[in-house]
Amino acid sequence: MTQQGKGFGFGLGKMKELAEAFKKAQEVQLGAKQLQEELEAMEIAGQSEDGLVTVTVSGNQEPLRVEVSPAAMEKSAEELSAIVTAAMKDAYEKSTETMRERMEDLTSGLNLPGLSG
């Protein structure tokens, strides 16, 4: 009984799919590098609920500056700490959401064989 060679089990269609997947992956890699640069250049501001403190971070969540209003200086150390923390959390959440949205935009339409599901 002779067995016909079937190669590695990859038909031409599968090879085309794989080549297309690699091409898309390269596009995403280039897009990710550009996205990284955009995020580094972004400034995202978060504020305390009372607006007395503003914390600005990059799109990569690197702290850039903190602005404290004169009215905030009249607060106790404990109160000031709480409003600075609230502003930091707001900036962090906004930058995380921005990063997530940009990553979704970057990877949308990427259909790698075997990874969907």
The per-residue pLDDT for 116 is 45
In a domain, 98, yes or no: yes
- pTM of the predicted model as reported, rounded to 2 decimal places: 0.69
Tell me whether residue 30 is in a domain.
Answer: yes
* Nearby residues of 25 by Cβ (< 8 Å), 6 or more positions away: 110, 112
Is 53 a member of any domain?
A: yes
107: which 2 tokens? 């990877």
**Considering its fold, how many domains does the chain have in total?**
1
Which residue range(s) make up the domain with 77?
Answer: 16-107
Residue 116 placed within a domain: no
In a domain, 90, yes or no: yes
The interaxial angle of helices 77-107 and 12-41, nearest 10 deg, is 150
Full pLDDT tens readout for the chain, 117 residues:
555 555 555 566 678 888 888 888 888 788 888 888 999 999 999 999 999 999 999 998 999 999 999 999 999 999 999 999 999 999 999 999 999 998 888 777 665 455 444
CATH number for the domain including 66?
3.30.1310.10
**CB-based contacts of 38, cutoff 8 Å, min separation 6:** 59, 102
**Can you say whether residue 99 is alpha, beta or left, with left for phi > 0 and alpha for psi between -120 and 50 degrees?**
alpha
